[in-house]
Structure 1
Amino acid sequence: MRSMLVLLRHELRLLASLGLWVARRRHGVGAGTGFGYARGQGTMMLGFGFVIVIESITMSVLLRNYPAVQRAWFTVDLYTLVIIIGMHAASVVRPHVLDAGSLRVRRAAHVDLRIPLEKIARVRRESRHTHERAEGELNLAIAAQTTVTLELTEPVAHFTFLGRRRDVRLVRLHADDADSFVKAVTQARNARSPLPDVSATRPA
């Protein structure tokens, strides 16, 4: 029952994201600065949608002598297409958000992790295309790629899609403009508490 409620809430967020996308509005940015991450998945999502459309047309022809089954199949395909578009819309209208006190790391409608700036020890530009699951790490890849790595001073609580808690100390994410993202987070972090001078700790 709980899983069904979680799925329903998620799908409602996707539908709400479609409305925001059409209205060209963003969710949860407020006075902060939003950083997009959806650009890298646009082609992939378009491909998924195209496959669904072709499948729907093909099955409509094959099932033309079975109108009840044809309508049911068309309904499922239409619903799947709406969900795919909703997932992309959620990625567009729910960007990462940097404000005066925290960094809000997001992916579509199912990941929303707020990290206090004082808990960010390091932020760096790092492109990775492979991500193995590891304890204490959260990988938020877009089209199998992350471009930014955050190292934290202490764990923050991340709750999975079904509500299971994971404590993470390292977060990898994707940002369309990773250089600007890293620069902005570094400046915001330094404004609160200067990062240690890493070069001073390295041997000559």
Structure 2
Amino acid sequence: MTRLWGWIVVGVRFEINLYVALGRWLLRRPAVPTGVTPWGYARLVTPVIWLWIFGSAVEVVVVHVITPWLVVRLVLLAVGVWGLLWMVGLLASYRVYPHLVDDDGLRVRHGKRADVRVPWERIARVTTVDRDLPSSVRTFQPCPAGVDGEGGIDLQIGVSGRANVHLVLTEPMTVPVSGEPLAVTALTFLADDPREFVAQVRSAVRSTAH
């Protein structure tokens, strides 16, 4: 029962965060502080979500027209509108919570579901990659042989199961996982412009070293 209640709380919190993100998007108020450089990661998934939104909007209209029973029609309309808002909110969460680069370090984000801060002095190496990840938003995998960070734990933050940036830490960094701390030695995640992103991160790391 405790575990079920925990999942319910997570689900409700996720739902609320989607609507907050939607409000930020409509008001053009992304969660980007002044003087901080944002880096998007929604380019890959945006066309797919818009296709789902368009298909769902058409479905709502068709179902509303062909359903003869008023009560059923209203229930299906409410469910359809909720689904549309949910998908638009999901897209909004990708757009208003980008990765952030500032004078102190890097924040790797995935909407409100993942937010990891990495100071510049903790970054050993950063490279572009082309990698398929598990479908979940955040996973932890052993760094495979022949990959930077080998022997440690790679925090993988994928978007639509894809990642293109791999960052190795100078030493393990603790991140919370279901309330328990876990030490990771690398991060793998997605950026819209990985080469430019990696170039800026490398420049910032070099500046900090000197």
Determine whether 1:109 maps to 2:125. no
Residues 159 and 60 of structure 1: is their aligned pair in 2 closer, same or farther, counting only changes over 3 Å?
farther
Return the offset for 1:116: 1.8
| Deviation beyond 6 Å, 4+ runs, structure 1 | none
Q: What's the RMSD between the two structures over aligned residues?
A: 2.1
Does 2:83 match 1:80? yes
Structure 2 matches for 1:18-29, cutoff 5 A? 18-29=22-33
Tell me whether 71-80 or 22-31 shows the greater mean CA deviation: 22-31
Distance 1:140 1:42 in 2: 17
Distance of 2:50 and 2:88 partners within structure 1: 9
Deviations 1:55-95 (A, max 9, x none): 3233324422x221221121112111111111111111111
CA separation of 1:163/1:10 partners in 2, compared to 1, >3 Å: closer, same or farther?
Answer: farther
Cα offset for 1:189?
1.3
For residue 60 of structure 2, the aligned residue among 56, 61, 84 is 56
Mapped partners of 2:184, 2:33: distance in 1? 24
Give % identity. Answer: 29
Distance in 2, Cα, partners of 1:122 & 1:30: 27
Corresponding residue number in structure 1 for 2:102:
99
User: Secondary structure at the residue paired with 1:172?
Assistant: strand
Count of aligned positions: 191
Stretch moving more, 173-182 or 135-144: 135-144
Q: Which amino acid aligns with 1:117?
A: W
Q: Which amino acid aligns with 1:38?
A: A
Counterpart CA distance in 1 for 2:91 and 2:59 is 20
SS at match of 2:44: helix
Distance verdict in 2 for CA 1:37–1:29, change over 3 Å: farther
Q: Give the Cα–Cα distance (whole angstroms) in 1 for the partners of residues 63 and 180 of structure 2.
A: 39
Deviates more, 1:178-187 or 1:2-11: 2-11
1:131 counterpart = 2:133: yes
Q: Distance in 1 between matches of 2:29 and 2:130?
A: 29
Q: Does 1:189 align with 2:193?
A: no
Query: Unpaired runs of 5+ in structure 2?
Result: 143-152
In structure 2, distance between residues paired with 1:2 and 1:51: 33
Pair 1:154 & 2:171 matched: yes
SS at match of 1:121: strand
Instruction: Determine helix, strand or coil for the equivalent of 2:100.
Output: strand
Q: TM-score, normalised by structure 2?
A: 0.81
Structure with bigger strand share is 2
Q: Tell me which moved more, 97-106 or 53-62.
A: 53-62
Residues 114-123 or 151-160, more deviating: 151-160
